[in-house]
Amino acid sequence: MKALLVIAILITSSLFVQNTQAQGTAKVKFEQMDHNFGVIKEEAGPVYFNFQFVNTGTVPLLIQHVEASCGCTTPEWSKEPILPGKGGFIKVSYNPEQRPGIFNKNITVTSNAEKGVMVLTISGEVTPRTLLTNDLYPIDFGAVRLSAEELSFLRIKDQEISTDTLKVYNPGTSPLTINYKIIPPHLSISTIPSPIAPKGKGVIIVTFNAAKKQEYGFVTNRIYLGFNQKEQYKDAIKVSATIEEDFSKLSAEEIANAPRIGINSKIFDFKELVEGESASYTFILFNKGKKPLIIRSITASCGCTTAKPSSNILAPGSTTDLKVTFDSQGKLGIQNKVLTIITNDPEHSTTLLRVIGIVKSKP
């Protein structure tokens, strides 16, 4: 009964608004159209302001929709029709969490008023909260806290030596020494200072020597950490890089006579598969340059995709097959996998191929 009564009231109100609109106009008059919160603290949480208004028209006012320009701003408003001479509100909240600095946000109000769309504004400045130790060193390995658990060198040339650091904090009450295990030849790693004093800070220094890796494309290694000479290497940091050939020293003549990769297609669309099925496609790679084309590496973005060329070296004018197989086991829905081919083509050393399609569940 209550639900029917509410529906009846809403229908009656709607009809009343429609009928009376032919006889007059609703008008909105806000006490103010903008509000400055001033300086607020990030850690203080959301702030609120009520924009008050009056219907100065001659027919009921209906606020149809209120939309904020940012998800950080949440509006509430009077939902019922507002009679002439009566007032309503639009309550706006702003959440400053992780939003330090000056802000200026719009709230768009749509109604049946004479001005159908009006824009309110809130503004202010958020002072950032003081970062605590756990914020600065979010990776917790128990005996030590780190600023990150991965060190990425991004793109690095094949003869380049690059160094980067991770920040370290010793949360304990005694000095801390970090030991490292499974260090490949192309990486060197150390801690400064060593040991790290109780409640003290330091850095892990990693040097990447690409010439010693003798690989191309994306490479990654895990280095395991132990503490105070104990043989318990359960925590690890990841070190990664994309190694590219350095063509900067080639002359104009060498570039003109260089190999050039070509490919018959860059997309393998397997359309639809039932989970557990596999699909294969053979790309045709060819060398349209004047020197032998060397396929340095082929890597897939997912272990579900494999690729193997018939040959890794293509003479000028020759071709090779690249068979790609996608295994749908454990993969459901839309698929978009990437194959990265690294070659000695100075103009297109990186070529991306895509494997796309849809995997459906078993009937």
What is the structure's pLDDT at 5? 44
Contacts of 98 (CB under 8 A, 6+ apart): 42
Domain of residue 58, CATH code: 2.60.40.10
Q: What is the mean pLDDT of residues 75-94?
A: 93
Q: Tell me, yes or no, whether 239 and 275 share the same domain.
A: no
Domain membership flag for residue 7? no
Strands 73-77 and 87-94: antiparallel
Strands 117-127 and 139-140: unpaired
Domain membership flag for residue 11? no
Q: Tell me, yes or no, whether 118 and 58 share the same domain.
A: yes
Write out pLDDT tens, residues 247-264: 999 999 999 999 999 999
Mean pLDDT of the chain: 90
Contact 279, 357 (CB under 8 A): yes
Tell whether the model's pLDDT for residue 194 goes beyond 60: yes
- The CA dihedral of 15, 64, 29, 103, to the nearest 10 degrees, is 180
Tell whether the model's pLDDT for residue 243 goes beyond 60: yes
Q: Tell me, yes or no, whether 121 and 144 share the same domain.
A: no
Write out pLDDT tens, residues 283-313: 999 999 999 999 999 989 889 999 999 999 9
Q: Tell me, yes or no, whether 211 and 306 share the same domain.
A: no
Domain boundary at 180, 215, 244, which?
244
Contact 250, 259 (CB under 8 A): no
Tell whether the model's pLDDT for residue 225 goes beyond 80: yes
Name which residue leads in pLDDT, 220 or 131.
220
Q: Tell me, yes or no, whether 107 and 56 share the same domain.
A: yes
Q: Tell me, yes or no, whether 182 and 87 share the same domain.
A: no
What is the structure's pLDDT at 10? 46
Domain boundary at 190, 214, 244, which?
244
How many domains does the chain fold into?
3
Q: Tell me, yes or no, whether 206 and 306 share the same domain.
A: no
Q: Tell me, yes or no, whether 306 and 269 share the same domain.
A: yes
Domain membership flag for residue 220? yes
What is the structure's pLDDT at 220? 92
Q: What is the mean pLDDT of residues 89-97?
A: 93
Domain membership flag for residue 12? no
**Percent of the chain surpassing pLDDT 70:** 94
Domain membership flag for residue 14? no
What is the structure's pLDDT at 230? 79
| CA–CA dist 108, 231 (Å, integer) | 62
Domain membership flag for residue 94? yes
Domain span at residue 95 reads 23-127
What is the structure's pLDDT at 14? 52
What is the structure's pLDDT at 182? 84
Q: What is the mean pLDDT of residues 342-361?
A: 94
Q: Tell me, yes or no, whether 115 and 145 share the same domain.
A: no
What is the structure's pLDDT at 96? 93
- Band (130; pLDDT cuts 50, 70, 90): confident
| CA–CA dist 106, 9 (Å, integer) | 33
Write out pLDDT tens, residues 3-59: 444 444 444 455 444 544 446 899 999 999 999 999 999 989 999 999 999 999 999
Q: Tell me, yes or no, whether 237 and 280 share the same domain.
A: no
Domain membership flag for residue 251? no
Work out the angle at residue 39's Cα, subtended by the Cα atoms of residues 38 and 44, and round it to the nearest 5 degrees. Answer: 120
Domain membership flag for residue 3? no
Domain boundary at 244, 275, 305, which?
244
Q: Tell me, yes or no, whether 228 and 261 share the same domain.
A: no
Q: Tell me, yes or no, whether 45 and 85 share the same domain.
A: yes
